[in-house]
Amino acid sequence: MNLRGLAVCACAALLLFIALAARSQGAASAPRLDVLPYPGTPDASPRTQIDFPALAPSQLANLAVSGSRSGIHHGALGTMGGGRGAAFVPSKQFTAGEQVTVRGALRSGTRIGFAFVIARPVSMPENAATTAASENSGAVDGAVGVVHATNDANGFTRSFRSESWLHPPIVSVSGTNPDPGSGDIITDAHKSIQAGPLILDPQGRPIWFDPLPGGQAGFNVMVQSYRRQSYLTFWQGFVSGGVGSGQDVMLDHSYRVVKTVNAANGYKADLHEFAITPQGNAVITIYAPVRADLRSVGGSRNGTLLDSIVEEINIASGQLLWEWHAYGHVHIAESYAGRPGTNPYDFFHISSVQQLSNGNFLVSGRNMFAVYEINPATGKVVWVLGGKHSTFRIGSGANFSWQHDAMMQPNGDITVFDNGAGYKRTESQSRGMRIRLNMSKRQAALVRQYAHVPSVLSYSEGSLQPLANGNVFVGFGNNPVFAQYTNTGKQIWTGNFRSPVQFHRAFRAGWSAQPTGSPYAAASPSSSGTTVYASWNGATNIASWRLLAGPSPGALAPVASRGFNGFETGISTSSAQAFFAVQALNSSGRVLGTSAAVPR
């Protein structure tokens, strides 16, 4: 038995029984008894609900839930999110460290029963962000938490006259974007004087920037489809000790929040993944510090483990559909995170999740140097690529370490951003990779790699996106460089932020939007008259600007016009009127919006 199998077997004291009377009587088909938390789970949340994904509430009878310390738990039995499955929601929390036993029967007479253990949660240490840099078991991604710069002494952000409160990062571009048709650049900015989601045009100029309030950050910005409509999605929240605590949000094409997705069972959503499935569900990540036996990795018997958790949430109802914990399914001794230290031991570090076409999930364990296919019905690992117990024999150049954004492509290839550095350096440079799996021969071969010239080494973050035209777009994470490559791996175009600004992932996607507000203008006297600056944060369909001037805000007339020239367009006029305003026009000359009048 390998170490993964030992993870559940180590919980020998747990009760696990599923008595299928119908099956023992030779029934042709008994109901499938998927349950959550999985039998033998060692660290379920004290606020966990108990789910039967394959059963309707009407199929269950005499359900009895009891904690070894808290006693009998009453609750409500209803339907899981999306109208599928049965969910029992206890009326009170379970007690930390206790064993929970679930007994009941089906209406058909089949008896069921299983058990799991409640976690002993631990608060994240207040000093995690300051100690992480010097410890192996520190902050997520081995970084010192997200601390935003408070000033711009080094000139790494932009300023505008018309919207002076906005300071997106300066982006330097090398080369000419070979395919503007692949869309805008969807990313974020953090460790800057303002942090938040960011959209750049194909020339690297800002289109939209949303500074988040109160020290929050925005990660994992994407354009995704939900119910046949496209939305701008991202995680928003706080990062403490490198662990995200927040929620996932969906914006419409006017940048209005139309949906928020929160983690279930008392957890807070983490920053690493927010993927919308074709079924209209959200796949999100969570980090939870819990007490655990860390002796197998040189720690204490009563150590603190940072568990990696995946949840699938029905977006419409907000209800939980599925939950998976790395702890209990993957043994901590398979980790490359070194020996435990002061901070919670981040043995797995989930860095991406993808629902596959067969319904299984592809989960990346950054600190395991491995990618796993997970069966959601059982929680078990189907196969593992990389790490200490790879299912596949790894071909030359196909190894990866500290990786991010592992995704299975339609042809079955695995693409991944290979950081090559984390708690320690294992490679000389970061790169994007395409790996081909031979399932029958259990072999993995490198198809292509995408390294940056000159080379960069990123200890955190990163992404890889195959484009529709065959090109590949790679974001290099905390080394804030993005680059585009041909399908043969030739680097053809790059852009970068200036230090200390970073981004999590970078993608290309088409996006159009009409903000709900109005454009902004600022007027300044010039030697030849007046220069007026026009902008409209987030507007994508402006073709030109019309300048209005007059003696009062109520008496303005057109005096000049100019074609759109990036986020802020300067318009010169010989007019020296007292007030000015601007109108944004589309390609047909229709007015999209008019600014307030501003004094000269």
Task: Select the more confidently predicted residue: 138 or 31.
Answer: 31
Domain end call among 93, 117, 141: 117
Tokens of 226: 């939900």
The region of weakest confidence among 85-94, 144-153, 276-285, 333-342 is 144-153
Query: Do residues 536 and 493 both lie within one domain?
Result: no
Cα distances (angstroms) measured from residue 142 to each of 245, 271, 299, 338, 478: 17, 15, 19, 12, 11
DSSP string, 308-332: EEEEEEETTT--EEEEEESTTTS-G
Beta bridge partners of 303: 292
Average pLDDT, the chain: 91
Q: Are residues 483 and 529 in the same domain?
A: no
* 104 and 144 fall within a common domain: no
- What is the tally of structural domains in the chain? 3
Do both 475 and 380 map to the same domain?
yes
Instruction: For residue 298, give its domain range.
Output: 128-509
Burial class (CB in 10 A: 0-12, 13-18, 19+), 185: buried
Strands 393-394 and 443-451 come out as parallel
Query: Given pLDDT bands bounded at 50, 70 and 90, which one contains residue 18?
Result: very low
Per-residue model confidence (pLDDT) at position 176? 84
pLDDT grade for 521, boundaries at 50, 70 and 90: very high
pLDDT in tens, 342-396: 999 999 999 999 999 999 999 999 999 999 999 999 999 999 999 999 999 999 9
For residue 133, is pLDDT > 60?
no
- The percent of residues above 70 in pLDDT, for the chain, comes to 90
d(CA 431, CA 92): 49
Which of 10-14, 82-86, 371-375, 421-425 has the highest mean predicted lDDT (pLDDT)? Answer: 371-375
333's torsion region: left (phi>0), alpha (psi -120 to 50) or beta? alpha
Looking at the structure, tell me whether residues 558 and 588 fall in a common domain: yes
Where a domain ends, among 463, 489, 509?
509
- pLDDT tens digits, residue range 51-98? 999 999 999 999 999 999 999 999 999 999 877 899 999 999 999 999
More confident residue, 455 or 243: 455
Q: What percent of the chain has pLDDT over 90?
A: 86
Structural domain ending residue among the three candidates 66, 83, 117: 117
pLDDT of residue 594: 98
* 321 contacts 314 by C-beta, under 8 angstroms: yes
| Residue 249 clears pLDDT 70, i.e. is over it | yes
Are 345 and 396 within one domain? Answer: yes
**Residues 538, 502: one domain?**
no
pLDDT given at position 146: 79
Residues 196 and 287 in one domain: yes
**Region 448-452: what's the mean pLDDT?**
98
Q: Examine residue 514 and state whether it is found in any structural domain, yes or no.
A: no
**pLDDT value of residue 369:** 98
122 located within any domain: no
Please indicate, yes or no, if residue 47 is contained in any of the structural domains. yes
| pLDDT of 23 | 35
Q: Measured between alpha carbons, how far is 162 from 588 in angstroms, rounded to an integer?
A: 25
Domain CATH for 83: 2.60.40.3780
In a domain, 153, yes or no: yes
Asked whether residue 1 carries a pLDDT value surpassing 90, the answer given is no
Q: Region 204-233: what's the mean pLDDT?
A: 97
Are 484 and 430 part of one and the same domain?
yes
Q: Which position has the token pair 């655990």?
A: 292
d(CA 533, CA 164): 11
**Cβ contact 595:582 at 8 Å:** yes
Average pLDDT of the residues in 272-285 = 97
Inside any domain, residue 531: yes
- Examine the pLDDT at 303 and tell me if it is beyond 50: yes
CA 184 to chain centre: 19
Residue 76 lies in a domain: yes
pTM (two decimals):
0.92
